[in-house]
């Protein structure tokens, strides 16, 4: 116990802050993009649906290092897009915190998209037809009927997206690097201390990440449970 307290006293908490900020921002972006993409794909034809689904799900089945290498080629300052972003907008993606966000979003996005799509596909079309019969606009139907009905699936996707973004390692290492205090995340820190043979510090970091993930999942389940109760009453 004394050794654990000693490790806690010497910990540099910047990797945790970077991971939390990255996870929250990536989840926020993936939430809206995932819902938008899922809604569009559900309404598309079978051929378009098959192609779009394959492209949007691809980062989930690729090794993270492969996705990270592709992102590195895409945003490198030697490539057209990287040159454009840096010279025209002074935006640097490679070896920056923005790179952490991009990598985590790309890797975690498919989880949000797949869960949102599955939730939308299970919605009873009669609910939508009833809203139209009552003269509701499509936007109002979407936010007051579709989203609450698909709430459990969307909540599940949000939880999984945050957990995946929080623990992202491969793509982040490739695109953002491992710069202390800037892009070094908890996952990278754990890998480094294990390489140094410091298993106690790695264990402490692991427990911290597990506790944070558990608290987040608990809160999301609590919120989604209350939302479902209000939907049932409605």
Q: Give the model confidence (pLDDT) of 90-147 as tens digits.
A: 888 998 999 999 999 999 999 999 999 999 988 888 888 888 888 888 888 888 888 8
Question: What percent of the chain stands above pLDDT 90?
Answer: 25
**pLDDT on residue 234:** 45
Mean pLDDT of 150-172: 88
Which domains, ranges and CATH numbers included, belong to the chain?
Answer: 2-228 (1.10.3720.10)
Is the distance from CB of 158 to CB of 29 less than 8 angstroms?
Answer: no
Could you give the CA distance from residue 125 to residue 134 in angstroms, rounded to a whole number? 14
Residue owning tokens 């390692």? 169
- Give the pLDDT confidence score for residue 103 in this predicted structure: 94
For the residues 204-220, what does the mean pLDDT come to? 83
- Residue 220's pLDDT is 72
Helices (H), the chain: 2-10, 14-43, 46-61, 64-75, 80-89, 97-121, 125-133, 138-141, 147-149, 151-166, 170-175, 186-195, 199-233
Residue 180 has pLDDT above 70, yes or no: yes
d(CA 102, CA 176): 9
């Amino acid at each position: 116990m004394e050794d654990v307290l000693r490790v806690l006293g010497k910990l540099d908490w910047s990797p945790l802050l970077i991971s939390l900020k990255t996870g929250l921002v990536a989840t926020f972006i993936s939430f809206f993009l995932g819902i938008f993409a899922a809604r569009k794909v559900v309404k598309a034809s079978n051929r378009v649906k098959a192609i779009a689904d394959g492209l949007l799900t691809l980062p989930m089945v690729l090794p993270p290092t492969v996705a990270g290498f592709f992102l590195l080629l895409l945003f490198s300052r030697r490539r057209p897009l990287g040159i454009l972003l840096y010279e025209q907008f002074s935006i640097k993606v490679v070896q920056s915190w923005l790179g952490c966000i991009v990598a985590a979003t790309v890797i975690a996005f498919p989880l949000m998209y797949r869960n949102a799509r599955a939730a939308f596909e299970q919605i009873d079309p009669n609910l939508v037809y009833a809203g139209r019969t009552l003269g509701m606009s499509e936007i109002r139907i979407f936010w007051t009927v579709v989203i609450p009905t698909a709430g459990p699936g969307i909540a599940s996707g949000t939880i999984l997206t945050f957990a995946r973004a929080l623990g992202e390692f491969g793509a982040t290492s490739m695109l953002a690097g491992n710069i202390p205090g800037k892009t070094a995340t908890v996952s990278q820190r754990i890998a480094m201390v294990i390489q140094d043979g410091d298993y106690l510090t790695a264990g402490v970091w692991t427990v911290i990440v597990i506790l944070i993930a558990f608290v987040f999942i608990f809160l999301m389940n609590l919120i989604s449970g209350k939302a479902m109760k209000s939907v049932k009453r409605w």
